[in-house]
C-alpha cells in the first residue's frame, strides 16, 4: 500500500469508527480507480477510455460480504 493510500485508509477507518458502526470492512484494491475500474494512472482523464464498467473481483468481494452479513450461504 502506498503512502497516500495508507493515509486515506486510516482516515476512512477513523471516520467509520467515529460513526459508531463497528460492522465494516476496509479493503484496498491496487490498480483500480475510484470507480472500481482497472486503470493505468487512476486519473479521471482516463475514465472515458476504460471499457470496464466495474471490476469483477470487487463485485465478488462485495457480494460475498453481503451474503456473509445476511447469513445467506446458498450462493
Q: Is the pLDDT of residue 2 over 60?
A: no
CA atoms within 13 A on the CB side of 69: 10
Q: What are 13's three cell numbers?
A: 477507518
Which pLDDT score is estimated for 42?
Answer: 87
User: Closest by alpha carbon to 31, among 59, 62, 69, 57?
Assistant: 57
Which pLDDT score is estimated for 38?
Answer: 95
Looking at the structure, tell me whether residues 59 and 44 fall in a common domain.
yes
Helices (H), 1-75: 3-18, 56-70
Distance of CA 13 to the CA centre of its chain: 13
Q: Is 44 helix (H, G, I), strand (E, B) or coil?
A: helix
What is the tens place of the pLDDT at every residue in 10-45? 899 999 999 998 889 999 999 999 899 999 998 999
Domain that holds residue 8: 1-28
Q: Percentage of the chain with pLDDT > 70? A: 88
What is the tally of structural domains in the chain?
A: 2
Looking at the structure, tell me whether residues 39 and 13 fall in a common domain.
no
Looking at the structure, tell me whether residues 36 and 53 fall in a common domain.
yes
Amino acid at each position: 500500500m502506498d503512502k497516500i493510500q495508507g493515509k486515506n485508509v486510516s482516515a476512512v477507518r477513523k471516520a467509520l469508527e467515529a460513526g459508531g458502526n463497528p460492522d465494516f470492512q476496509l479493503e484496498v484494491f491496487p490498480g483500480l480507480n475510484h470507480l472500481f475500474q482497472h486503470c493505468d494512472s487512476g486519473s479521471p482523464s482516463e475514465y472515458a477510455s476504460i471499457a470496464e464498467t466495474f471490476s469483477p473481483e470487487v463485485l465478488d468481494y462485495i457480494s460475498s460480504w453481503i451474503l456473509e452479513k445476511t447469513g445467506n450461504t446458498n450462493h
